[in-house]
């Protein structure tokens, strides 16, 4: 009887973990697509023709002398009234000519700050900003001329608190599958935006209503904190796909893995400490989005571990469990398998390393503490 009970428990863990993984990666976006077909998209009304709110565009920069002039030249080409746009460069302890070149390049305000991290630099810029809307960009993200107008248009609706645009990656022909992954994320993000709102943004192109801005700790992330925290405050967070920017992709899988591992170091604090996991304040649909897309995604390493352990317990029960164990081992070993020219192998390898980055980033957090300063990814300038 004990063995039967253990088998039942192992099967429950196996199938529960497998279904959770399948849901967060596959069935969740499909349910959103079905909802869109059944109930349509929730779109904000278009703004009045003469609606040009004052915008402060903030570029946080650390040692960006290589690209800051090009970035400011790119800003000068934006199709937005210059008298309604304030450009702020927040130099976070730069030891090169970033601040000097930013002043010469036409920034309205340059803050030469001590090194404290990206969030601290952004917070300092917001304290000095005069815009009713705050737009943010990385120094190596180049916006299309109409991007700012597309980004701020949804804010004409008073319940919109955050809007992110679309980053398109260049040089996506290396051994990283970040470009393919990002296209998938953009598809999911557009589906979420048409329902309860997005669950995450991106650092290359986004904006937030000044009155809704939260001064976060240095280890946190605008991309992940703002959407769920603003949902609890009654604001919607949307995706504007026609607000486009371009960035260079991390050129190799190892660099992408290191970047994601650094990013994942702050996940525990955002999900648990800051309240992403707490459903209070969410609408039922937004709670479904957060738990399906974020919580289960970040739990993927643990789900994979449970799936493997349960599979080992069931290995002698049928040939099916032998095949599933072989499949799991192939996924786990994919980073060391030959076949970098095979698209399927590359996708599986990318997925494995991204999932591993969540686990290792969380271990880094408990070993070394929350992240503070920021690092540029090699090859992205």
* Calpha distance 242→43 (Å, rounded): 14
pLDDT for 39 equals 93
| Tens-digit pLDDT profile for residues 169-224 | 876 444 456 677 888 999 999 999 999 999 999 989 999 999 999 999 988 999 99
Q: Take residue 155 and report the two structure tokens written for it.
A: 């804010």
The answer to which of 39-53, 129-143, 328-342 has the lowest mean pLDDT is: 328-342
Q: Has residue 345 been placed in a domain? A: no
Average pLDDT over residues 237-257: 86
Give percent of the chain above pLDDT 90: 76
Q: Has residue 49 been placed in a domain? A: no
pLDDT for 229 equals 97
Average pLDDT over residues 9-21: 96
Q: Has residue 259 been placed in a domain? A: no
pLDDT for 159 equals 95
pLDDT at 1 over 50: no
Rg of the Cα trace of the chain? 22
The CATH code of the domain that includes 225 is 3.90.550.10
Q: Which residue has the higher pLDDT, 102 or 45?
A: 102
The whole-chain average pLDDT of the chain stands at 91
The residue range of the domain holding 209 is 55-252
Q: Has residue 99 been placed in a domain? A: yes
Instruction: Express the helix, strand and coil content of the chain in percent, nearest 5 each.
Output: 50, 15, 35
Neighbours of 41 (CB within 10 A): 11
Q: Has residue 297 been placed in a domain? A: no
Q: Has residue 19 been placed in a domain? A: no
Strand ranges inside 24-147, DSSP E: 55-61, 85-92, 109-113, 133-138, 142-143
Average pLDDT over residues 45-51: 86
pLDDT at 112 over 70: yes
* pTM to 2 decimal places: 0.90
Average pLDDT over residues 239-249: 92
pLDDT for 49 equals 83
Average pLDDT over residues 148-177: 85
Q: Has residue 75 been placed in a domain? A: yes
* Calpha distance 250→100 (Å, rounded): 27
Q: Which pLDDT band, with edges at 50, 70 and 90, does 249 fall under?
A: confident
Give percent of the chain above pLDDT 70: 92
pLDDT for 5 equals 54
pLDDT at 380 over 60: no
| Tens-digit pLDDT profile for residues 346-379 | 888 889 999 999 999 999 999 988 876 666 665 5
Q: Which pLDDT band, with edges at 50, 70 and 90, does 342 fall under?
A: confident
Q: Which pLDDT band, with edges at 50, 70 and 90, does 147 fall under?
A: very high
Angle between helices 343-368 and 300-313 (to 10 degrees): 110
pLDDT for 8 equals 81
C-alpha torsion angle, residues 17, 22, 27, 29 (rounded to 10): 110
Number of domains in the chain: 1
CA–CA distance from 380 to each of 255, 285, 346 (Å)?
10, 37, 21
Q: Has residue 174 been placed in a domain? A: yes
């Amino acid at each position: 009887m004990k063995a039967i009970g253990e088998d039942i428990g192992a099967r429950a863990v196996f199938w529960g973990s497998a279904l959770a993984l399948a849901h967060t990666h596959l069935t969740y976006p499909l349910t959103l697509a079905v909802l869109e077909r059944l109930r349509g998209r929730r779109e904000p009304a278009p703004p009045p023709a003469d609606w040009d709110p004052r915008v402060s565009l903030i570029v946080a920069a650390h040692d960006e002398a290589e690209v800051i002039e090009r970035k400011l030249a790119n800003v000068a080409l934006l199709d937005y009234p210059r008298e309604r746009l304030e450009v702020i460069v927040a130099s976070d302890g730069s030891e090169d000519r970033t601040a000097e070149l930013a002043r010469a390049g036409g920034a309205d305000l340059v803050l030469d700050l001590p090194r404290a991290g990206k969030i601290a630099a952004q917070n300092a810029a917001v304290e000095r900003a005069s815009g009713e809307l705050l737009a943010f960009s990385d120094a190596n993200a180049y916006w299309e001329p109409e991007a700012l107008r597309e980004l701020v248009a949804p804010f004409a609706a008073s319940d919109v608190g955050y809007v992110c645009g679309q980053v398109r990656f260049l040089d996506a022909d290396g051994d990283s599958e970040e470009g393919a992954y990002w296209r998938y994320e953009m598809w999911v993000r557009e589906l979420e935006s048409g329902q309860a709102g997005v669950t995450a943004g991106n650092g290359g192109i986004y904006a937030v209503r000044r009155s809704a801005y939260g001064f976060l700790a240095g280890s946190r992330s605008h991309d992940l904190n703002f959407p769920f925290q603003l949902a609890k405050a009654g604001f919607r967070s949307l995706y504007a796909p026609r607000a486009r920017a371009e960035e260079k992709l991390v050129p190799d899988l190892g660099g992408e893995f290191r970047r994601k591992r650094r990013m994942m170091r702050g996940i525990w604090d955002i999900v648990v400490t800051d309240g992403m996991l707490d459903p209070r304040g969410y609408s039922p649909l937004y709670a479904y989005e957060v738990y399906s897309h974020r919580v289960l995604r970040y739990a993927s390493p643990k789900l994979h571990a449970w799936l493997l352990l349960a599979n080992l317990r069931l290995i002698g029960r049928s040939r099916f469990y032998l095949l599933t164990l072989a499949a799991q081992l192939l996924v786990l070993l994919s980073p060391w398998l030959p076949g970098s020219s095979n698209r399927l192998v590359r996708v599986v390898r990318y997925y494995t390393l991204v999932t591993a980055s969540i686990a290792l980033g969380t271990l880094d957090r408990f070993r070394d503490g929350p992240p503070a300063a920021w690092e540029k990814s090699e090859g992205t300038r």
